[in-house]
Structure formats: structure tokens, C-alpha cells
Structure 1
């Protein structure tokens, strides 16, 4: 059952668009700074060393670079860069953000392997010619430093609190710096950057889009979670400890963060039966966002939909995601390499 609206207009100005309110833009910038201020001591002063290319793999239809990136100055970040053989020049760039799912050993490899709840996106990226970057998040993949991944996540959370840091804040710094790297690649058009993720990856996708206007398209799957509704349904246990940012609710609700994406394109698909994402909360966020998009003549650029499903990406969801990729990232540059 659709709860939002979809359409065909682009982010670029057209006859139906209205001037973007400079006052609202200033408000968004102030709130972005406020949001960052809640994410602990961020090492903004760190200057990254050059990326390290471990090896290059040739696959059917694409080249895969296995990299180590210096994103935070604390620990190296293993990464995958997928470069399709057939791509536009410059090509759209996609930041693929892996999920949690208690699968601490998976990390960035989810791009290639997929999971039961979400088929792999690598074939999609190859077919659509999107240069795609995926990194291991703190505590996941090659950054899983304890045999018991859950204990490792909890220990990282506690240690960072002692040091004045916030685990989720450090996660978001990594994604921000990963976006920097993706945008810097010669193969990529920095004006066509998207962020995509499911579950933890979805949360990080809409946070990143809120924090960084370079994200031109936000695609989040199964985690547009309203915080107060999560409390009301007694479902705090459904999310890992990484999810919780000290003092956040004194300043922001989920809708407040998501309005920092307006009027850029935002597709959110969720399951009505998903305990991680209570349905009434999704409706509340939708009802907050759509009037803002409507105000600027961009209502078609916001689509929030609930499906009769649990914590899984349905084929119908994938169909919508592919349509939005085509509309907002792919069909922008006729030049082909």
C-alpha cells in the first residue's frame, strides 16, 4: 500500500518548481551543525593519507578495487570500489552502506554477496554503470576485532564514550569521508552521488543525506524509524547499541533529521510488520516531509511507502529503487564512455 507519491520530476529546476527558500536553507545549515555537535568529538583536524590499493580484481562486467582508506586517523578502513566496464563518463557514484543484522563478519562484502533479506546490489551497479563504494563500518567486516561481534560493538561504544566520542558519530564520519573519496575519483560525476542502505545502512544513508547536501539521492530500505514510536512500542532492543546517540532526543526527532534532506530526492521503503520500524512512525515522518516537498514544488521527489512485509527488501521495493536510480542518477548525462 503506497503512503507517499512518486513522480518523474528531477531535482533540477523546472516549470513546476518553486524557488528554494533561502531562510529554510540557512535553517538547515544551522541544524546540520547542531546535529554534528551531538555526535561526539569528531577528529575534523585529521588529514588523510593517500588510499592504499591492495589489489585489483577483474570480474565479468566490472573491475573491483580492494582498498584501505584513511578516513578517521584511528584505524584503517577496508573498502571495495566497483567500477563497471560499461559506464557513462563521468559516471554516477553510489555509496553502498552495509547492514548490521548481527552479521559482524560480513560488512562491505554485502555489496557482492547480498543477504537473505536483500539480494546483492553489485549486479545492479554493473548494469546501470554506477561506480560504487562500500566500506567496512566500525566493528564489522575486517574491522571486527573480537570473536564475539556483539561484545566488540558494545566495547567500542563504551570506550568511545569514555573518550568523548560517540560510536555512531565515528561511523558517520567514516561515511562522510568515504563520500569524499568517491567524489574524488576521476570516473565519478560528483554532482550525481547517491547513498543506499538497508537497516543500519538505511539509517546511515538518511543521516548522511541530512548531514551532507552532496548526496543527491537518498535510498533507504527498512529503517525510517521514528524514535518516539520506537519507545512507545517498547522496541529499543531491536536496534544495536551503535544506534543510540546521547542527548539526541533533546534536540531532534527522526522527522527533524530527514527534513534536512528537503528538497533533494528521497525514497524510503519500509515493512509494515517490521518491529525495527513501527508503521505509525513511518506515517508520521511521511506526513511531516511531504508538505515540505510540496511547498517547493518537489512533492514527486519524496516517496515514503509501507509494504505488508517485515524486515526484508521485497521485489516491489527493488523495482522502485531501480526506477529512482534511473530517474535521479542515471538519466542525467547522455555522454557514454
Structure 2
């Protein structure tokens, strides 16, 4: 394993690692929000909770969870970084291969970042491999999972297949009761379930980071996942311009806009999360 000499497309992850370290180094305290009275605060909290639940239902996020049944597929060490290979069950019939990068020598529990990928990317993409090594050298763990339709989750085993892009795939997913974005987000939530089974992970300092489609997934995670402390949303926009993008982002955003305005979307996340 060698650190890539091509830092293009990954500078944002390396730079944001410093942000994550700074934020993760101290406990997050909820900020006081000035409100006119207690009833206004109650209305705000009620709106936040009901909107979050409506968005989860719209995406088709399952409410019942199966056993993770994680299996180790070995590990290797190079240049002070350990890469563990794992596979876990997101839901019946859906197994998720992943790599966990961590520093070889560290005392105490580690903060962790979970990658959310852009179109065609997966756990073995060179730029994400590079970024994962950067995080590990900074003392963080980093979890890289294969999105559905990519790499080990594709019958061909190919990288960059974009198998979840075609419109017929989205139409079949919706007929089955879930948008494709819902599946991508749910698998990431299950990755957090996996991380929380580990004794070496600080469960109070879990974040996500993504670019492009990965930025869209990170924004949904920030809105819906109460266990996150940080989300790095890059190459994405909280704007109606995203209503005319690819099918996987266009449809959920169009339906989200029927439920709320853009300023409300990030505000439905738990108050301790940071974007």
C-alpha cells in the first residue's frame, strides 16, 4: 500500500480532517437557541422530530433491523496503518463489504469518519484510499464501504459501474417501497451500527464525509442520523438546482421540497450534529 502522489480531488478530505480533529477533540455542547417562550421551543422540537420522521418514511428507511453478523476477512499493516477487511449485513440478502483504516499505535478510543461516495466510487477508489490514509495518520479511524452496485456489490466485481444510476433501477426500487437514496443512506446508517460494536471506537465522535452524490448522502445522514457529531458535505448544494440532477438525487429532493424548505432540511438534524 502506497500513499498516492495524486492529491487532486482529495484535498477537501485531507483539509477537512483537520476540522474533524479539532471538533472531535472536545465534547459538543448544545447551543442555546433564543426563543420567545417555552411553547415556541416545544413547537420547534416537535417540527424537527416530525419532519425527520416524515423524511425517513419518504426515503423508505426500514424501522426494523436484522443482526449485523459481521465477519472479519483479514487485515494487513503498512507504514503504521492497519487496514481491516470486514463484511456485515445491512438487511436480509444485502451484505456490505468494507475496509476499516486505523492507526497501528493509538491509546484510547478513536473518533471515526465514514465515507459516502460519489457516482462510480467505492472503497478501493484511489482517491478515497489516499484520504483514508490521511485520516489514519492523523489518529482517526476511517470506514470505507462499497455502495450497492459497486465493486464487491456488483456481479462483475468492477469499480465504477454506476449500476445504481439507470432510471429503471430507481423505478424498481420505488415499486419495492424505497428510493435508491434511501438504500444508500440506510447502508451508511448500518455502517454506524457496525462501528458501535467496536470497543476501540469513540461512539460519541462519529462523522461522515462525502463529495458530489456522496455530499448528497452526507446531507441526508446529517438530517436523519442522531448519532452523528459531524458531516462534511462537499460538492453539493442546499438549493433547488439539485431538483434537476440525476435520478438518484432529483427524486428525493423533489419530494423533500414538498415537505419543507431548504433552510429547514439541515435544521431537522439533532442539535449536537455539525455540518
The two structures have a TM-score, normalised by structure 2, of 0.77
Write the distance in 2 (CA, Å) between the matches of 1:132 and 1:52: 18
1:194 aligns with 2:207: yes
Give aligned pairs, total: 242
On the 8 A contact 1:69/1:78 being kept in 2, the answer is yes
SS in 2 for 1:156: helix
- Does the CA-based 8 Å contact 2:82-2:104 persist in structure 1? yes
Change (3 A) 1:75 1:156: farther
- CA distance in 1 between counterparts of 2:136 and 2:260 reads 38
How far apart are residue 74 of structure 1 and its match?
2.9
Does structure 2 conserve the Cα–Cα contact (< 8 Å) formed by 1:56 and 1:63?
yes
The 1-side partners of 2:146 and 2:206 are apart by: 19
Q: Aligned pair in 2 of structure 1 residues 28, 143: CA closer, same or farther (>3 Å)?
A: same
The alignment partner of 1:71 has SS state of: strand
The 3 A distance-change label for structure 1 pair 29 and 91 is same
C-alpha separation in 2, matches of 1:255 and 1:158 = 29
- Give the equivalent residue in structure 2 for 1:18: 32
Q: CA deviation at 1:60?
A: 1.4
Cα distance in 2 for residues equivalent to 1:72 and 1:143 = 14
Deviation readout 1:257-297 (Å, 9 max, x if unpaired): 21123644534xxxxxxxxxxxxxxxxxxxxxxxxxxxxxx
- The one of 244, 248, 251 aligned to 2:256: 248
| Alignment partner, residue 316 of structure 1 | none
Instruction: Tell me the residue number matched to 1:213.
Output: 226
Out of 48-57 and 207-216, give the one that drifted further: 48-57
User: TM-score by structure 1 length?
Assistant: 0.64
Q: Deviations over 1:292-328 (max 9, x none)?
A: xxxxxxxxxxxxxxxxxxxxxxxxxxxxxxxxxxxxx
- Secondary structure at the residue paired with 2:124? helix
Consecutive unaligned residues of structure 1, counting only runs of 5 or more, are 1-5, 268-337
**1:75 match:** 94
Query: Would you say 1:123 and 2:121 are equivalent positions?
Result: no
Is 1:183–2:183 an aligned residue pair? no
Map 1:35-114 onto structure 2 (within 5 A): 35-40=55-60, 42-100=61-119, 103=120, 106-110=121-125, 113-114=126-127
Q: Distance in 1 between matches of 2:196 and 2:163?
A: 34
Aligned equivalents of 1:199, 1:34: Cα separation in 2 = 24
Name the counterpart of 2:10: none
User: 2-side partners of 1:20 and 1:70: how far apart?
Assistant: 43
